[in-house]
Structure 1
Amino acid sequence: MSRQLNPKQFLKLTNGPLSMLQATVARLEGMDAANPLLICNEEHRFLAAEQMRQSGHEDTRIILEPYGRNTAPAIALAALQLTEAAENNAEDPLMLVLAADHLIKDVTAFQEGVKKAIPLAREGKLVTFGIVPNHPETGYGYIHRGAELGPDSYLVDKFVEKPDQATANGYLDSGEYLWNSGMFLFGARQYLEELETHRPDILAACRAAIADTADDLHFTRINAERFAECPSDSVDYAVMEKTNKAAVVSLDAGWSDIGSWSALWEVSDKDADGNSLNGDVITHNTANTLVRADSRLVATVGVDNLVVIETKDALLVAHKDSVQDVKTVVERIKTDGRHEHMNHREVYRPWGVYDSIDNGARYQVKRITVKPGAKLSVQMHHHRAEHWIVVSGTARVTNGEKTYLVTENQSTYIPVGQVHSLENPGVIDLELIEVQSGSYLGEDDIVRYEDRYGRK
């Protein structure tokens, strides 16, 4: 389900109608927090913006990273932006740093933990949140807590890497170790001071990158050339393991980073046979199994301890104890020159979404949805013609020198090489079927002449 252009953060895995990103933002409701600031890769910008719009955060500022450089530089970009905005404010603005792909079942306990961390952060501590372990997990790093600072609050004695099973058993028995959650609360200026001390090369590159920005809609584009020079490092290695100001607040809030399908099964609601089922699923003599059906009926008979994941373009069947090996399948997909690792059949664009419902040697059929007021770029194709049939709504079509409306049950034809565009002038979604035909049907056969969304 997680693809390069549609990763886990944007999936609806555990929170009903909310994606993991949307659930992360919703977790802050009722707290005294500013509008969220997002940092994401440039190729995910429209998906992130659309999900924030759906959550009622249309004005969210999104900093775009042209390259992934891990968490220390990402947090530095946000801190630099916040300190600039609070330049005339004597108080150091506090940053609550949250990964967008964590599950937290007990939101009240999470918010109480954040409140406990605030006075520590005001005192200049760099606070991380340590998860109270409920089993000897070998897949997480741990934090050994030191001297007590207050209720559920401690100095950090040391961070330790993922342990083997025997060591994890010892950590659990001691009661002195917490899982490293990767969530933080600290002052923006305080973080930059620590980064200056321990990784000045990262800070210098981030300062140079964010000194040259361009605002595009809700996006802040940093200088790609300067950011390319930034070393890649996590906030743990770059700062938290080196600073003498690290503190930890213990958190027991039903946390999981859902790093695998087996982890998702562990935290999901199950039936009397231990099955977690989502979608159109029929089971018979099935136990301890996770089934997700995206687009069709999935039936299981006489199976135990499996993971079955069905999407519109792929099917995974795995033993629950072997789900980590799915990365081997992904590598095979890449090596074979396939495309399933890149995206789902449904692809989100700033103007809406399209679903590639059928294709052959010289044709492709898409179902296209255009949001009210949105417009595709003015473009041309060298190798394909297009036939559009409107299913619902009204389309304003530019076809060469002509501009006209196409309504329900009407169609229009765009010849090869014709400059054209498609717009939804109405107040409801425009849905249409597009039939492409030609010698080459790749998405890179697009020459854009004009685009309101800043695409090249």
Structure 2
Amino acid sequence: MLIVPVIMSGGAGTRLWPVSREGHPKPFMRLPDGDSLLGKAYARAAALTPEGGEIVTVTNREHYFTSKDHFFESRLPRHQARFVLEPEGRNTAPAIAVAAQALGARYGDEVVMVVMAADHLIQDVEGFRRSAVHAAQLARIGYLVTFGIPPCAPETGFGYIESGEVLDEAGGCRVLRFVEKPDLHTAREYLQSGRFLWNSGMFCFTAGTLLRELAQHAPEIADLSARCIAASPAHESAGVLLQELHSQSFVALPDISIDYALMERSNQVVMVPAAFDWSDIGSWGALSQLVPADEEGNRVQGDAILIDTHNTFVMGEGRLIATVGVDDLIVIDTADAVLVARVDRAQEVRQVAKLLKEQNHEAYRLHRTVARPWGTYTVLEEGVRFKIKRIVVNPGAALSLQMHHHRSEHWIVVQGVAKVTNGETECLIDTNESTFIPAGHRHRLENPGVLDLVMIEVQSGEYVGEDDIVRFDDKYGRVQ
């Protein structure tokens, strides 16, 4: 039985702002143990397939390079990575459909897909593997399998699944219905009945079963996803199998979840109760539970001094945080934004992210330090007509050959050696040396060394926005 894990890595995780942002979403967040949620998802995926097996990630093309870094950082035992890149988010039904079309074409209709989210936390990997194997056995019979989480509280933030006829000794059962997030009174009734489980958003089915059921209940998705994959050939790139979805074909797919498009319509849906721990890390309250509490109920990650403080979660990225005489707070400090919220209103943090997005505020999209395929840049200071950055270029990496209309740049190397293309000339710039790039000049920065290249860039001009860039050549495929 061939099992291929499919990791869905989308969504902004707005309830975890200011750490989770559009350009650095929740799956990339580092947990207190130093691992990312995406890295842990790769470890779970590797437990389902033998060495050399394929692991599929469906994500936005803007997140490809960071996702690939997290895959290789996980140091999986020679697993093959396939990245299916969406031009924009279209919800889970199109994403799962195109993955099924791609895997069916490669392995045949009987390949078993285990679809999991990149931003869930499951500590018991062996328990997850056992539940996934159970689900795969049901999938081979022709069922669409969903994973239900036995509830431990009357949670109003999750959808529920009502269980029906039991199918096997391991607890697999038919699904009677899916239920939207209930009010507290209804959630308590669900908990007391023992028939309802939380909807985890994880699934298992063969590619053939999924596509046949889609053809019956959502034929538009089945048809358009087939056309999309036909127009999106896969190719080898830097040690991974890369499949960038044809933009026009993919955006023609309806924006709809797999629950609405199929799972609530099909009569082939069954549920496997999870034999593992599970958390969707859906709020700062949930994430705080990963940090041990002191005798006052406080949880701290970072450098903090707490005086007469109780039941408070404090997380900082560099600065000292001090609290005096406060209770039941969440305090999150990043380089460019601070969140202070009451513990019982943690779910409302998404309203902050929503307002920032409406205002087109940069703090919705990016952190002060931004990842790029070649390394990172950090905005140190910005004002009228100038911006100062710290740029780190990985060994062997290079920025695109580019030009700016409205700004000039002064580069000062503080570590390593830079290879610089400036107009028609090329030169090496050593540590403590500098060069000037006039506006309108084609230029490129490369790191020919084996250590990180670190430099300070001073931009000046009429406009210093990130969109003032024209690319002529790029090893990462970013030339339009």
Task: Provide TM-score, normalisation by structure 1.
Answer: 0.95
Distance 1:223 1:400 in 2: 35
1:239 aligns with 2:262: yes
8 Å Cα contact 2:55-2:80 kept in structure 1: no
8 Å Cα contact 1:131-1:250 kept in structure 2: yes
CA RMSD of aligned residues (A): 1.7
Distance 1:402 1:59 in 2: 41
Find the counterpart in structure 1 of residue 194 from structure 2: 175
Find the counterpart in structure 2 of residue 193 from structure 1: 212
Identify the range of structure 1 (64-73 vs 270-279) with the bigger mean alpha-carbon deviation.
270-279
8 Å Cα contact 1:195-1:202 kept in structure 2: yes
Find the counterpart in structure 2 of residue 26 from structure 1: 43
Find the counterpart in structure 1 of residue 73 from structure 2: 54
Distance 1:272 1:253 in 2: 29
SS in structure 1 of the partner of residue 105 of structure 2: helix
Find the counterpart in structure 1 of residue 132 from structure 2: 114
Counting only pairs closer than 5 Å after superposition, residues 281-292 of structure 1 correspond to structure 2 as 281-292=304-315
Distance 1:140 1:252 in 2: 18
Find the counterpart in structure 1 of residue 122 from structure 2: 104
Amino acid at match of 1:414: I
Amino acid at match of 1:9: P
Counting only pairs closer than 5 Å after superposition, residues 247-396 of structure 1 correspond to structure 2 as 247-396=270-419
SS in structure 1 of the partner of residue 42 of structure 2: helix
1:235-265 CA-to-partner distances (Å, cap 9, x unmatched) read 1111111111111111142211121112223
How far did residue 367 of structure 1 move? 0.9
8 Å Cα contact 1:102-1:257 kept in structure 2: yes
Instruction: Indicate the percent of aligned positions where both proteins have the same amino acid.
Output: 48
SS in structure 1 of the partner of residue 365 of structure 2: coil
Find the counterpart in structure 2 of residue 94 from structure 1: 112
8 Å Cα contact 1:64-1:221 kept in structure 2: yes
1:207 aligns with 2:226: yes
Amino acid at match of 2:87: P
Distance 1:227 1:290 in 2: 42
Find the counterpart in structure 2 of residue 397 from structure 1: 420
Identify the range of structure 1 (432-441 vs 148-157) with the bigger mean alpha-carbon deviation.
148-157
How far did residue 326 of structure 1 move? 2.0
Find the counterpart in structure 1 of residue 93 from structure 2: 72
1:153 aligns with 2:166: no
Distance 1:363 1:176 in 2: 62
Unaligned runs of 5+ in 2: 1-18
Identify the range of structure 1 (436-445 vs 218-227) with the bigger mean alpha-carbon deviation.
218-227
How far did residue 337 of structure 1 move? 4.0
How far did residue 214 of structure 1 move? 4.7
8 Å Cα contact 1:9-1:100 kept in structure 2: yes
The count of corresponding residues between Structure 1 and Structure 2 is 452
Find the counterpart in structure 2 of residue 426 from structure 1: 449
8 Å Cα contact 1:131-1:179 kept in structure 2: yes
8 Å Cα contact 1:50-1:350 kept in structure 2: no
1:166 aligns with 2:189: no
Distance 2:424 2:214 in 1: 57
SS in structure 2 of the partner of residue 167 of structure 1: helix
Distance 2:406 2:44 in 1: 48
8 Å Cα contact 2:47-2:125 kept in structure 1: no
How far did residue 139 of structure 1 move? 0.9
Find the counterpart in structure 2 of residue 42 from structure 1: 61
1:428-455 CA-to-partner distances (Å, cap 9, x unmatched) read 1111111111111011111111111111
Task: Provide TM-score, normalisation by structure 2.
Answer: 0.90
Residues 168 and 97 of structure 1: CA distance in aligned 2, closer, same or farther (over 3 Å) = same
Identify the range of structure 1 (281-290 vs 92-101) with the bigger mean alpha-carbon deviation.
281-290
Identify the range of structure 1 (265-274 vs 316-325) with the bigger mean alpha-carbon deviation.
265-274
1:115-135 CA-to-partner distances (Å, cap 9, x unmatched) read 222211111111111001111
Identify the range of structure 1 (343-352 vs 212-221) with the bigger mean alpha-carbon deviation.
212-221
8 Å Cα contact 2:46-2:55 kept in structure 1: no
Unaligned runs of 5+ in 1: none
Identify the range of structure 1 (54-63 vs 205-214) with the bigger mean alpha-carbon deviation.
54-63
8 Å Cα contact 2:110-2:206 kept in structure 1: yes
Alignment partner of 1:143 out of 137, 142, 161: 161
8 Å Cα contact 2:398-2:447 kept in structure 1: yes
Find the counterpart in structure 2 of residue 83 from structure 1: 104
How far did residue 13 of structure 1 move? 3.1
8 Å Cα contact 1:352-1:370 kept in structure 2: yes
Identify the range of structure 1 (24-33 vs 433-442) with the bigger mean alpha-carbon deviation.
24-33
Runs of 4+ with >4 A deviation: none
